[in-house]
Structure 1
Amino acid sequence: MLRSAIAARAAIRSGQWQGHTSGLAAGHVQGNLVILPSAAAHDFLRFCQRNPKPCPLLAVSEPGVPQLPTLGADIDIRTDVPRYRVWRHGELVDEPTDITGLWRDDLVSFVIGCSFSFEQALLEAGLPLRHVESGGNVAMFKTSIQCEPAGPFRGPMVVSMRPFKPADAIRAVQVTSRFPDVHGAPVHIGRPELIGIRDITAPDYGDPIHVADDELPVFWACGVTPQAVVQAARPEFCITHAPGAMLITDLLNNQLASL
Protein backbone atom coordinates (compact mmCIF):
# COMPACT_ATOMS: atom_id res chain seq x y z
CA MET A 1 0.00 0.00 0.00
CA LEU A 2 1.25 3.50 -0.85
CA ARG A 3 1.89 5.15 2.51
CA SER A 4 3.19 8.64 1.70
CA ALA A 5 1.35 11.36 -0.21
CA ILE A 6 4.34 11.95 -2.51
CA ALA A 7 4.61 8.24 -3.36
CA ALA A 8 0.86 7.97 -3.96
CA ARG A 9 0.84 10.98 -6.29
CA ALA A 10 3.88 9.64 -8.16
CA ALA A 11 2.13 6.29 -8.72
CA ILE A 12 -1.01 8.08 -9.90
CA ARG A 13 0.93 10.46 -12.16
CA SER A 14 2.76 7.57 -13.83
CA GLY A 15 -0.45 5.59 -14.37
CA GLN A 16 0.56 2.80 -11.99
CA TRP A 17 -2.46 3.51 -9.78
CA GLN A 18 -5.85 4.17 -11.43
CA GLY A 19 -8.28 2.91 -8.77
CA HIS A 20 -10.05 4.49 -5.81
CA THR A 21 -7.87 6.13 -3.19
CA SER A 22 -9.56 5.03 0.05
CA GLY A 23 -6.80 3.83 2.36
CA LEU A 24 -3.91 5.32 0.36
CA ALA A 25 -1.41 7.55 2.18
CA ALA A 26 -3.14 7.04 5.51
CA GLY A 27 -3.24 10.19 7.58
CA HIS A 28 -3.25 12.54 4.61
CA VAL A 29 -6.16 14.73 3.54
CA GLN A 30 -7.82 13.74 0.28
CA GLY A 31 -9.86 16.09 -1.87
CA ASN A 32 -12.73 16.06 -4.34
CA LEU A 33 -12.08 18.04 -7.53
CA VAL A 34 -14.11 20.44 -9.66
CA ILE A 35 -12.51 22.36 -12.55
CA LEU A 36 -14.54 25.07 -14.31
CA PRO A 37 -13.91 27.93 -16.75
CA SER A 38 -13.32 31.22 -14.95
CA ALA A 39 -16.63 32.57 -16.31
CA ALA A 40 -18.47 30.05 -14.12
CA ALA A 41 -16.01 29.96 -11.22
CA HIS A 42 -17.44 32.89 -9.22
CA ASP A 43 -20.93 31.37 -9.13
CA PHE A 44 -19.49 27.99 -8.12
CA LEU A 45 -17.43 29.63 -5.37
CA ARG A 46 -20.65 31.17 -4.02
CA PHE A 47 -22.33 27.77 -4.27
CA CYS A 48 -19.61 26.21 -2.11
CA GLN A 49 -19.84 29.04 0.42
CA ARG A 50 -23.61 28.52 0.69
CA ASN A 51 -23.30 24.73 1.00
CA PRO A 52 -20.35 24.08 3.33
CA LYS A 53 -21.52 20.60 4.42
CA PRO A 54 -21.21 18.94 0.98
CA CYS A 55 -18.68 21.44 -0.42
CA PRO A 56 -16.09 22.45 2.22
CA LEU A 57 -13.37 24.24 0.26
CA LEU A 58 -9.75 23.28 0.86
CA ALA A 59 -8.19 25.29 -1.98
CA VAL A 60 -8.98 27.31 -5.12
CA SER A 61 -6.42 27.85 -7.88
CA GLU A 62 -5.67 30.88 -9.98
CA PRO A 63 -7.10 30.70 -13.55
CA GLY A 64 -4.94 28.55 -15.80
CA VAL A 65 -2.59 27.49 -12.99
CA PRO A 66 -2.49 23.69 -12.47
CA GLN A 67 -0.48 23.90 -9.25
CA LEU A 68 -1.98 24.01 -5.74
CA PRO A 69 1.01 24.83 -3.51
CA THR A 70 -1.02 25.07 -0.30
CA LEU A 71 -1.92 21.38 -0.73
CA GLY A 72 1.43 20.02 -1.98
CA ALA A 73 4.55 21.55 -3.53
CA ASP A 74 4.68 19.07 -6.42
CA ILE A 75 0.93 18.82 -7.20
CA ASP A 76 -0.13 19.10 -10.83
CA ILE A 77 -3.91 18.90 -10.98
CA ARG A 78 -3.72 17.71 -14.62
CA THR A 79 -2.05 14.40 -13.73
CA ASP A 80 -2.42 13.73 -10.01
CA VAL A 81 -5.95 12.27 -9.84
CA PRO A 82 -6.33 8.57 -10.73
CA ARG A 83 -9.35 9.12 -12.93
CA TYR A 84 -11.15 12.25 -14.07
CA ARG A 85 -14.60 12.89 -15.47
CA VAL A 86 -15.12 15.31 -18.37
CA TRP A 87 -18.53 16.98 -18.67
CA ARG A 88 -19.93 19.02 -21.55
CA HIS A 89 -23.27 20.74 -21.02
CA GLY A 90 -23.96 18.42 -18.08
CA GLU A 91 -23.26 15.22 -20.01
CA LEU A 92 -20.43 12.88 -19.04
CA VAL A 93 -18.32 12.44 -22.18
CA ASP A 94 -15.03 10.88 -21.02
CA GLU A 95 -13.14 9.43 -18.03
CA PRO A 96 -9.42 9.97 -18.75
CA THR A 97 -6.48 9.41 -16.41
CA ASP A 98 -4.70 12.58 -17.56
CA ILE A 99 -6.22 15.94 -18.58
CA THR A 100 -3.08 17.71 -19.81
CA GLY A 101 -4.46 17.78 -23.34
CA LEU A 102 -7.70 19.38 -22.15
CA TRP A 103 -6.07 22.12 -20.07
CA ARG A 104 -7.01 25.73 -20.80
CA ASP A 105 -5.73 29.09 -19.57
CA ASP A 106 -9.13 29.97 -18.09
CA LEU A 107 -9.63 26.87 -15.94
CA VAL A 108 -10.02 27.24 -12.17
CA SER A 109 -9.58 24.23 -9.85
CA PHE A 110 -11.61 23.77 -6.67
CA VAL A 111 -10.52 21.14 -4.14
CA ILE A 112 -13.25 20.12 -1.71
CA GLY A 113 -12.86 18.16 1.52
CA CYS A 114 -13.47 14.41 1.38
CA SER A 115 -14.94 12.02 3.94
CA PHE A 116 -11.99 9.67 3.40
CA SER A 117 -10.17 12.06 5.74
CA PHE A 118 -12.42 11.47 8.74
CA GLU A 119 -12.42 7.72 8.14
CA GLN A 120 -8.99 7.49 9.76
CA ALA A 121 -10.42 9.07 12.92
CA LEU A 122 -13.31 6.59 12.89
CA LEU A 123 -10.90 3.66 12.57
CA GLU A 124 -8.69 5.03 15.35
CA ALA A 125 -11.81 5.22 17.54
CA GLY A 126 -12.36 1.49 16.96
CA LEU A 127 -15.30 1.95 14.60
CA PRO A 128 -15.27 -0.55 11.71
CA LEU A 129 -15.78 0.60 8.12
CA ARG A 130 -17.17 -2.20 5.97
CA HIS A 131 -16.08 -0.78 2.60
CA VAL A 132 -12.50 -0.40 3.87
CA GLU A 133 -12.48 -3.96 5.22
CA SER A 134 -13.71 -5.28 1.86
CA GLY A 135 -11.39 -3.11 -0.22
CA GLY A 136 -14.30 -1.38 -1.93
CA ASN A 137 -15.48 2.18 -2.46
CA VAL A 138 -17.96 3.89 -0.14
CA ALA A 139 -21.63 3.88 -1.21
CA MET A 140 -22.96 7.28 -2.34
CA PHE A 141 -26.53 8.35 -3.06
CA LYS A 142 -28.38 11.30 -4.56
CA THR A 143 -30.98 12.59 -2.08
CA SER A 144 -34.09 14.74 -2.00
CA ILE A 145 -32.17 17.33 0.06
CA GLN A 146 -31.75 20.38 -2.16
CA CYS A 147 -28.64 22.53 -2.00
CA GLU A 148 -28.82 26.31 -1.66
CA PRO A 149 -28.51 27.62 -5.26
CA ALA A 150 -26.01 30.16 -6.56
CA GLY A 151 -26.38 31.39 -10.11
CA PRO A 152 -26.93 28.36 -12.35
CA PHE A 153 -25.60 25.91 -9.77
CA ARG A 154 -28.38 24.06 -7.98
CA GLY A 155 -29.38 20.47 -7.39
CA PRO A 156 -29.50 17.59 -4.89
CA MET A 157 -27.08 16.84 -2.11
CA VAL A 158 -25.16 13.58 -2.49
CA VAL A 159 -24.42 11.61 0.68
CA SER A 160 -22.02 8.81 1.55
CA MET A 161 -23.30 5.95 3.73
CA ARG A 162 -21.60 3.83 6.37
CA PRO A 163 -23.52 1.31 8.52
CA PHE A 164 -23.04 1.18 12.29
CA LYS A 165 -24.67 -0.43 15.29
CA PRO A 166 -26.62 2.25 17.24
CA ALA A 167 -24.00 2.80 19.95
CA ASP A 168 -21.27 3.06 17.32
CA ALA A 169 -23.42 5.48 15.30
CA ILE A 170 -23.52 7.83 18.28
CA ARG A 171 -19.76 7.62 18.60
CA ALA A 172 -19.37 8.24 14.85
CA VAL A 173 -21.34 11.48 15.19
CA GLN A 174 -19.05 12.59 18.01
CA VAL A 175 -15.87 11.74 16.09
CA THR A 176 -16.78 13.29 12.74
CA SER A 177 -18.25 16.46 14.21
CA ARG A 178 -14.64 17.45 14.93
CA PHE A 179 -13.89 17.59 11.19
CA PRO A 180 -16.05 20.36 9.66
CA ASP A 181 -13.56 20.88 6.79
CA VAL A 182 -14.27 17.34 5.56
CA HIS A 183 -18.10 17.31 5.92
CA GLY A 184 -18.34 17.11 9.71
CA ALA A 185 -21.20 15.31 11.44
CA PRO A 186 -23.78 13.21 9.54
CA VAL A 187 -26.78 14.88 7.91
CA HIS A 188 -29.11 11.89 8.49
CA ILE A 189 -29.28 8.59 10.39
CA GLY A 190 -31.60 5.67 9.60
CA ARG A 191 -34.68 5.53 7.33
CA PRO A 192 -33.11 6.37 3.96
CA GLU A 193 -36.54 6.93 2.35
CA LEU A 194 -36.88 10.15 4.37
CA ILE A 195 -34.11 11.71 2.28
CA GLY A 196 -35.28 10.25 -1.02
CA ILE A 197 -33.21 7.06 -1.16
CA ARG A 198 -35.48 4.28 -2.40
CA ASP A 199 -33.04 1.36 -2.44
CA ILE A 200 -30.15 1.29 0.02
CA THR A 201 -28.64 -1.65 -1.90
CA ALA A 202 -28.29 0.35 -5.14
CA PRO A 203 -26.01 3.39 -4.70
CA ASP A 204 -25.76 6.03 -7.41
CA TYR A 205 -21.97 6.06 -7.04
CA GLY A 206 -19.45 3.72 -5.42
CA ASP A 207 -20.08 0.14 -4.29
CA PRO A 208 -23.09 -1.42 -2.52
CA ILE A 209 -22.61 -1.88 1.23
CA HIS A 210 -24.66 -4.37 3.24
CA VAL A 211 -26.60 -2.96 6.20
CA ALA A 212 -27.30 -5.65 8.80
CA ASP A 213 -30.59 -5.89 10.70
CA ASP A 214 -28.95 -4.59 13.89
CA GLU A 215 -27.30 -1.62 12.14
CA LEU A 216 -28.31 1.89 11.14
CA PRO A 217 -27.27 3.50 7.86
CA VAL A 218 -25.47 6.76 8.68
CA PHE A 219 -25.29 9.43 5.97
CA TRP A 220 -22.70 12.18 5.57
CA ALA A 221 -22.77 15.05 3.06
CA CYS A 222 -20.49 14.11 0.17
CA GLY A 223 -18.12 15.97 -2.15
CA VAL A 224 -19.62 14.18 -5.16
CA THR A 225 -22.52 16.65 -4.79
CA PRO A 226 -21.00 19.01 -7.41
CA GLN A 227 -21.26 16.26 -10.01
CA ALA A 228 -25.01 16.02 -9.47
CA VAL A 229 -25.14 19.82 -9.60
CA VAL A 230 -23.13 19.91 -12.85
CA GLN A 231 -25.67 17.54 -14.39
CA ALA A 232 -28.44 19.95 -13.38
CA ALA A 233 -26.65 23.25 -14.17
CA ARG A 234 -25.16 22.02 -17.47
CA PRO A 235 -22.09 24.29 -17.73
CA GLU A 236 -20.46 24.25 -21.14
CA PHE A 237 -17.36 22.48 -19.79
CA CYS A 238 -16.33 20.94 -16.49
CA ILE A 239 -13.84 18.39 -15.19
CA THR A 240 -14.25 16.50 -11.92
CA HIS A 241 -12.64 13.51 -10.24
CA ALA A 242 -14.29 10.12 -10.74
CA PRO A 243 -16.12 9.16 -7.51
CA GLY A 244 -13.63 7.64 -5.07
CA ALA A 245 -10.58 8.69 -7.10
CA MET A 246 -9.30 11.64 -5.08
CA LEU A 247 -6.45 14.12 -5.01
CA ILE A 248 -4.07 13.14 -2.19
CA THR A 249 -2.58 16.19 -0.48
CA ASP A 250 0.31 16.81 1.88
CA LEU A 251 -2.08 18.09 4.56
CA LEU A 252 -2.58 15.82 7.55
CA ASN A 253 -6.03 14.82 8.74
CA ASN A 254 -5.25 15.79 12.30
CA GLN A 255 -4.54 19.34 11.12
CA LEU A 256 -8.22 19.66 10.25
CA ALA A 257 -9.57 18.43 13.60
CA SER A 258 -11.20 21.01 15.85
CA LEU A 259 -10.49 20.91 19.53
Structure 2
Amino acid sequence: MALTNATNNGRAVRLAARSNTLSSPTAGLAPSYLQANLIVLPRQYATDFRLLCARNPVPCPLLAESDRPGSFNELKSYIRHPSSSSPVTVASDIDLRTDAPKYRIYKDGTLAGEAADIVDAWQPENHVGFLIGCSYSFDDALSAAGLTPRYVAQGFNVPMYRTTVPLCPAGVFVGGTVVVSMRPYRSSDITKVRDITRAFVTTHGEPIAWGWEAVSRLGIADVGKPEWGDVPLTADGKRVFGCQDTKEEDDYVPVFWGCGVTPQEAVMRANLTGTVMGHAPGHMIVLDVQDRDVFPEVRG
Protein backbone atom coordinates (compact mmCIF):
# COMPACT_ATOMS: atom_id res chain seq x y z
CA MET A 1 0.00 0.00 0.00
CA ALA A 2 1.38 3.42 -0.93
CA LEU A 3 0.38 6.12 1.56
CA THR A 4 -0.23 9.64 0.29
CA ASN A 5 2.00 12.50 1.37
CA ALA A 6 -0.94 13.98 3.30
CA THR A 7 -1.23 10.92 5.53
CA ASN A 8 2.32 9.64 5.47
CA ASN A 9 3.00 9.78 9.19
CA GLY A 10 3.44 7.28 11.99
CA ARG A 11 -0.21 7.10 13.02
CA ALA A 12 -1.39 6.69 9.42
CA VAL A 13 0.94 3.72 8.91
CA ARG A 14 -0.17 2.11 12.18
CA LEU A 15 -3.84 2.53 11.30
CA ALA A 16 -3.24 1.05 7.85
CA ALA A 17 -1.59 -1.98 9.44
CA ARG A 18 -4.36 -2.20 12.05
CA SER A 19 -7.04 -2.30 9.35
CA ASN A 20 -5.05 -4.85 7.32
CA THR A 21 -4.74 -2.51 4.35
CA LEU A 22 -0.95 -2.52 4.73
CA SER A 23 0.95 -5.80 4.64
CA SER A 24 4.23 -4.78 3.01
CA PRO A 25 7.57 -3.82 4.59
CA THR A 26 7.61 -0.30 6.03
CA ALA A 27 10.90 0.90 4.48
CA GLY A 28 10.38 4.35 2.99
CA LEU A 29 7.03 4.96 4.69
CA ALA A 30 6.49 7.99 6.95
CA PRO A 31 9.85 9.67 6.27
CA SER A 32 11.51 11.15 9.39
CA TYR A 33 9.32 9.10 11.77
CA LEU A 34 11.10 6.55 13.95
CA GLN A 35 10.35 2.90 13.24
CA ALA A 36 10.58 0.11 15.79
CA ASN A 37 11.11 -3.62 15.97
CA LEU A 38 8.82 -5.57 18.28
CA ILE A 39 9.46 -8.50 20.59
CA VAL A 40 6.75 -9.84 22.95
CA LEU A 41 7.74 -12.14 25.81
CA PRO A 42 6.09 -13.92 28.74
CA ARG A 43 6.59 -11.78 31.82
CA GLN A 44 9.07 -14.18 33.44
CA TYR A 45 11.66 -13.29 30.77
CA ALA A 46 11.18 -9.51 30.87
CA THR A 47 13.92 -8.73 33.39
CA ASP A 48 16.51 -10.79 31.53
CA PHE A 49 15.50 -9.17 28.25
CA ARG A 50 15.96 -5.65 29.65
CA LEU A 51 19.42 -6.70 30.76
CA LEU A 52 20.16 -8.15 27.31
CA CYS A 53 19.30 -4.77 25.78
CA ALA A 54 21.40 -2.89 28.33
CA ARG A 55 24.41 -5.11 27.64
CA ASN A 56 23.99 -4.97 23.84
CA PRO A 57 22.79 -1.42 23.11
CA VAL A 58 23.90 -1.26 19.46
CA PRO A 59 21.88 -4.20 18.06
CA CYS A 60 19.22 -4.01 20.80
CA PRO A 61 18.47 -0.33 21.61
CA LEU A 62 15.39 -0.36 23.86
CA LEU A 63 12.87 2.38 23.00
CA ALA A 64 9.81 1.43 25.06
CA GLU A 65 7.97 -1.43 26.73
CA SER A 66 4.53 -2.30 28.08
CA ASP A 67 3.99 -0.22 31.20
CA ARG A 68 2.70 -3.36 32.93
CA PRO A 69 2.39 -7.04 31.96
CA GLY A 70 -0.47 -7.50 29.52
CA SER A 71 -0.58 -3.89 28.34
CA PHE A 72 -0.52 -3.53 24.56
CA ASN A 73 -1.51 0.15 24.27
CA GLU A 74 0.14 1.88 27.23
CA LEU A 75 3.92 2.04 27.05
CA LYS A 76 6.82 3.15 29.20
CA SER A 77 9.18 5.17 27.01
CA TYR A 78 12.96 5.11 27.29
CA ILE A 79 13.40 7.79 24.61
CA ARG A 80 14.48 11.07 26.22
CA HIS A 81 13.90 14.64 25.12
CA PRO A 82 17.33 16.07 24.25
CA SER A 83 16.91 19.27 26.28
CA SER A 84 14.91 18.16 29.31
CA SER A 85 15.79 14.44 29.54
CA SER A 86 12.09 13.78 30.12
CA PRO A 87 10.50 10.72 28.46
CA VAL A 88 9.14 11.23 24.95
CA THR A 89 5.76 9.60 24.32
CA VAL A 90 6.30 7.14 21.47
CA ALA A 91 2.70 7.10 20.25
CA SER A 92 -0.65 8.36 21.49
CA ASP A 93 -2.68 5.71 19.67
CA ILE A 94 -0.91 2.37 19.45
CA ASP A 95 -1.78 -1.31 19.68
CA LEU A 96 1.22 -3.64 19.73
CA ARG A 97 -1.03 -6.54 18.66
CA THR A 98 -2.14 -5.02 15.35
CA ASP A 99 0.08 -2.10 14.32
CA ALA A 100 2.86 -3.97 12.53
CA PRO A 101 1.96 -5.06 8.98
CA LYS A 102 3.00 -8.65 9.69
CA TYR A 103 4.03 -10.68 12.75
CA ARG A 104 5.93 -13.83 13.61
CA ILE A 105 4.82 -16.23 16.35
CA TYR A 106 7.17 -18.61 18.15
CA LYS A 107 6.10 -21.60 20.25
CA ASP A 108 8.63 -22.95 22.73
CA GLY A 109 11.51 -21.40 20.81
CA THR A 110 10.40 -22.56 17.36
CA LEU A 111 8.89 -20.38 14.64
CA ALA A 112 5.25 -21.44 14.35
CA GLY A 113 4.15 -19.10 11.59
CA GLU A 114 3.28 -15.55 10.51
CA ALA A 115 0.08 -13.61 11.04
CA ALA A 116 -1.52 -10.25 10.21
CA ASP A 117 -2.05 -9.60 13.94
CA ILE A 118 -1.42 -11.26 17.31
CA VAL A 119 -4.69 -10.40 19.04
CA ASP A 120 -5.62 -14.01 19.76
CA ALA A 121 -2.10 -15.00 20.83
CA TRP A 122 -1.63 -12.07 23.25
CA GLN A 123 -2.05 -13.21 26.87
CA PRO A 124 -3.57 -10.62 29.26
CA GLU A 125 -1.47 -9.97 32.40
CA ASN A 126 1.37 -12.09 31.02
CA HIS A 127 2.83 -10.76 27.78
CA VAL A 128 5.24 -7.83 27.83
CA GLY A 129 5.95 -6.00 24.58
CA PHE A 130 9.29 -4.32 23.86
CA LEU A 131 10.05 -1.84 21.07
CA ILE A 132 13.61 -1.86 19.73
CA GLY A 133 15.16 0.84 17.55
CA CYS A 134 15.24 0.26 13.78
CA SER A 135 17.74 1.48 11.19
CA TYR A 136 14.88 2.43 8.85
CA SER A 137 14.71 5.50 11.11
CA PHE A 138 17.77 7.08 9.53
CA ASP A 139 17.07 6.20 5.90
CA ASP A 140 15.28 9.52 5.36
CA ALA A 141 18.29 11.46 6.66
CA LEU A 142 20.53 9.51 4.29
CA SER A 143 18.17 10.24 1.42
CA ALA A 144 18.11 13.95 2.26
CA ALA A 145 21.90 13.93 1.89
CA GLY A 146 21.72 12.33 -1.55
CA LEU A 147 22.57 8.88 -0.18
CA THR A 148 19.25 7.07 -0.60
CA PRO A 149 19.73 3.42 0.41
CA ARG A 150 19.57 1.23 -2.66
CA TYR A 151 16.86 -1.09 -1.32
CA VAL A 152 14.59 1.93 -0.68
CA ALA A 153 15.09 3.23 -4.22
CA GLN A 154 14.40 -0.23 -5.63
CA GLY A 155 11.33 -0.83 -3.45
CA PHE A 156 12.72 -3.87 -1.64
CA ASN A 157 13.26 -5.00 1.95
CA VAL A 158 16.70 -4.42 3.46
CA PRO A 159 18.93 -7.54 3.45
CA MET A 160 19.72 -8.89 6.93
CA TYR A 161 22.36 -11.40 7.97
CA ARG A 162 23.16 -13.64 10.90
CA THR A 163 26.73 -13.06 12.09
CA THR A 164 29.07 -15.00 14.34
CA VAL A 165 29.60 -11.97 16.61
CA PRO A 166 28.40 -13.06 20.06
CA LEU A 167 25.95 -11.10 22.15
CA CYS A 168 26.85 -10.38 25.76
CA PRO A 169 24.63 -12.91 27.59
CA ALA A 170 21.90 -11.97 30.05
CA GLY A 171 20.10 -14.54 32.18
CA VAL A 172 18.31 -17.02 29.93
CA PHE A 173 19.60 -15.26 26.82
CA VAL A 174 22.83 -17.09 26.06
CA GLY A 175 24.43 -18.14 22.79
CA GLY A 176 22.88 -15.36 20.72
CA THR A 177 24.72 -13.56 17.93
CA VAL A 178 24.34 -10.13 16.36
CA VAL A 179 22.13 -9.71 13.29
CA VAL A 180 23.10 -6.94 10.85
CA SER A 181 21.43 -5.06 8.02
CA MET A 182 23.37 -4.05 4.91
CA ARG A 183 23.33 -1.07 2.55
CA PRO A 184 25.89 -0.80 -0.28
CA TYR A 185 27.76 2.51 -0.56
CA ARG A 186 30.77 3.80 -2.44
CA SER A 187 33.94 3.72 -0.37
CA SER A 188 34.25 7.48 -0.82
CA ASP A 189 30.83 8.01 0.84
CA ILE A 190 31.39 5.93 3.98
CA THR A 191 32.69 8.80 6.11
CA LYS A 192 29.59 10.85 5.25
CA VAL A 193 27.31 7.86 5.89
CA ARG A 194 28.94 7.32 9.30
CA ASP A 195 28.60 11.00 10.18
CA ILE A 196 24.89 11.08 9.29
CA THR A 197 23.88 7.89 11.10
CA ARG A 198 26.07 8.38 14.18
CA ALA A 199 23.52 10.70 15.78
CA PHE A 200 20.82 8.01 15.70
CA VAL A 201 22.12 6.33 18.83
CA THR A 202 18.78 4.72 19.78
CA THR A 203 18.22 3.31 16.29
CA HIS A 204 21.58 1.50 15.91
CA GLY A 205 23.73 4.56 15.15
CA GLU A 206 26.65 4.42 12.76
CA PRO A 207 27.68 1.21 10.96
CA ILE A 208 29.63 -1.42 12.86
CA ALA A 209 31.63 -2.62 9.84
CA TRP A 210 32.12 -1.96 6.12
CA GLY A 211 34.10 -3.21 3.15
CA TRP A 212 34.50 -6.66 1.64
CA GLU A 213 36.90 -7.73 4.37
CA ALA A 214 34.12 -7.12 6.91
CA VAL A 215 32.03 -9.91 5.38
CA SER A 216 34.35 -12.66 6.59
CA ARG A 217 35.14 -10.79 9.81
CA LEU A 218 31.43 -10.81 10.71
CA GLY A 219 31.11 -14.46 9.74
CA ILE A 220 28.70 -13.85 6.86
CA ALA A 221 28.89 -16.69 4.38
CA ASP A 222 27.50 -14.87 1.31
CA VAL A 223 26.34 -11.25 0.98
CA GLY A 224 24.14 -12.37 -1.92
CA LYS A 225 22.17 -14.72 0.36
CA PRO A 226 20.70 -12.87 3.36
CA GLU A 227 18.86 -14.83 6.04
CA TRP A 228 16.10 -12.18 6.16
CA GLY A 229 14.87 -9.50 3.78
CA ASP A 230 15.46 -9.35 0.04
CA VAL A 231 18.48 -10.32 -1.99
CA PRO A 232 20.60 -7.18 -2.62
CA LEU A 233 20.89 -6.16 -6.24
CA THR A 234 23.29 -3.98 -8.15
CA ALA A 235 22.27 -0.44 -9.07
CA ASP A 236 20.81 -1.62 -12.39
CA GLY A 237 18.69 -4.18 -10.53
CA LYS A 238 19.84 -7.00 -12.79
CA ARG A 239 22.54 -8.77 -10.81
CA VAL A 240 23.02 -9.90 -7.23
CA PHE A 241 25.26 -7.52 -5.32
CA GLY A 242 28.21 -9.38 -3.83
CA CYS A 243 28.64 -11.96 -6.57
CA GLN A 244 32.16 -12.29 -7.92
CA ASP A 245 31.54 -10.17 -11.02
CA THR A 246 29.94 -7.28 -9.07
CA LYS A 247 32.46 -6.68 -6.31
CA GLU A 248 34.03 -3.76 -8.11
CA GLU A 249 30.73 -2.17 -9.10
CA ASP A 250 31.59 1.57 -9.09
CA ASP A 251 33.60 1.01 -5.91
CA TYR A 252 30.49 0.01 -3.94
CA VAL A 253 31.14 -2.01 -0.77
CA PRO A 254 28.78 -3.52 1.80
CA VAL A 255 28.12 -1.41 4.90
CA PHE A 256 26.68 -3.15 7.97
CA TRP A 257 24.56 -1.85 10.86
CA GLY A 258 23.23 -3.54 13.97
CA CYS A 259 19.72 -4.89 13.36
CA GLY A 260 16.64 -5.21 15.57
CA VAL A 261 16.04 -8.77 14.38
CA THR A 262 18.80 -9.61 16.87
CA PRO A 263 16.34 -10.08 19.79
CA GLN A 264 14.30 -12.60 17.81
CA GLU A 265 17.50 -14.49 17.02
CA ALA A 266 18.37 -14.40 20.73
CA VAL A 267 14.94 -15.80 21.59
CA MET A 268 15.43 -18.66 19.14
CA ARG A 269 18.81 -19.49 20.67
CA ALA A 270 17.44 -19.32 24.24
CA ASN A 271 14.73 -21.94 23.60
CA LEU A 272 12.19 -20.09 25.73
CA THR A 273 9.00 -21.87 26.74
CA GLY A 274 5.61 -20.41 25.94
CA THR A 275 4.48 -18.05 23.20
CA VAL A 276 6.85 -15.35 21.97
CA MET A 277 5.95 -12.91 19.21
CA GLY A 278 7.67 -10.28 17.08
CA HIS A 279 7.36 -8.29 13.88
CA ALA A 280 8.12 -10.05 10.62
CA PRO A 281 11.53 -8.75 9.50
CA GLY A 282 11.12 -5.44 7.70
CA HIS A 283 7.51 -4.95 8.87
CA MET A 284 7.95 -2.36 11.63
CA ILE A 285 5.73 -0.42 13.98
CA VAL A 286 6.04 3.26 13.03
CA LEU A 287 5.98 5.70 15.95
CA ASP A 288 4.80 9.31 16.35
CA VAL A 289 8.33 10.43 17.24
CA GLN A 290 10.23 12.24 14.48
CA ASP A 291 13.99 12.23 14.22
CA ARG A 292 14.12 16.00 14.87
CA ASP A 293 12.35 15.41 18.22
CA VAL A 294 15.22 13.38 19.66
CA PHE A 295 18.15 13.88 17.26
CA PRO A 296 18.04 17.63 16.53
CA GLU A 297 21.57 17.61 15.16
CA VAL A 298 20.61 15.45 12.17
CA ARG A 299 18.51 18.23 10.65
CA GLY A 300 20.88 21.11 11.36
**The TM-score by the shorter chain falls in which range?**
over 0.9
TM, length-normalised to structure 2: 0.84
Number of aligned residue pairs: 259
Percent identity of paired positions between Structure 1 and Structure 2 = 42
Equivalents in 2 of 1:258, 1:173: separation in Å?
Answer: 17
8 Å Cα contact 2:39-2:130 kept in structure 1: yes
Q: Spell out, residue by residue over 1:187-227, the C-alpha distance to the aligned partner (whole angstroms, 9 max, x if none).
A: 11112011101111000100111335111100000000011
User: Contact 1:59–1:68 at 8 Å: present in 2 too?
Assistant: no
Which residue in the other structure is 1:241 paired with? 279
Q: Verify the 8 A CA contact 1:179 1:258 in the aligned structure 2.
A: no
- Within the alignment, does 1:251 sit opposite 2:289 as a pair? yes
Corresponding residue number in structure 2 for 1:132: 152
SS where residue 101 of structure 1 aligns?
A: coil
Letter in 2 for 1:152: V
Q: 1:204 aligns with which of 227, 231, 244?
A: 227
Aligned partner of 1:156 in structure 2 is: 177
Correspondence for 1:30 among 27, 35, 53: 35
Q: CA RMSD in A?
A: 1.2
In our comparison, the structure showing a higher alpha carbon Rg is 2
Q: 1:122 aligns with which of 107, 118, 142?
A: 142
State the distance in 2 between where 1:156 and 1:251 align: 29
Give unpaired runs (5+ residues) of structure 1: none
- Unaligned 5+ segments in structure 2 are 76-88, 234-240
Q: What is the rounded CA distance, in whole Å, between the counterparts of 1:45 and 1:26 in structure 2?
A: 29
Partners of 1:149 and 1:247 in 2: how far apart?
Answer: 26
1:66 paired with 2:85, answer no
Matched, 1:52 2:57: yes
Name the SS of the counterpart of 2:115 in structure 1: coil
Write the distance in 2 (CA, Å) between the matches of 1:256 and 1:161.
24
- The equivalent position to 1:172 in structure 2, one of 184, 190, 193, is 193
CA–CA separation in structure 1 for the residues paired with 2:15 and 2:294: 24
Measure how far apart 1:67 and its partner are.
0.8
Offset of 1:252 from its aligned partner?
Answer: 0.4
Specify the code of the residue in structure 1 equivalent to 2:94: I
TM-score, normalization by structure 1: 0.97
> Please, which of 59, 82, 87 is the counterpart of residue 106 of structure 2?
87
Query: Is the 2:60–2:259 Cα contact (8 Å) retained in structure 1?
Result: yes
Give the Cα separation in 1 of the matches to 2:296 and 2:231.
31
Q: Offset at 1:254?
A: 2.1
Deviation per CA, 1:88-107, whole angstroms, max 9, x where unpaired? Answer: 12210021111111111211
Contact in 1 for aligned 2:181/2:256 (Cα 8 Å): yes
Question: How far is the alpha carbon of 1:258 from its aligned partner?
Answer: 6.0
Question: Are 2:22 and 1:17 aligned?
Answer: yes
The CA deviation at 1:72 is: 1.2
Q: What corresponds to 2:218 in structure 1?
A: 195
**Preserved contact between residue 68 and residue 77 of structure 1 (Cα < 8 Å):** no
- Alpha-carbon deviation of 1:255? 2.2
Matched, 1:39 2:58: no
**Distance in structure 2 (CA, Å) of the matches to 1:6 and 1:218:** 31
Q: Which amino acid aligns with 1:228?
A: E
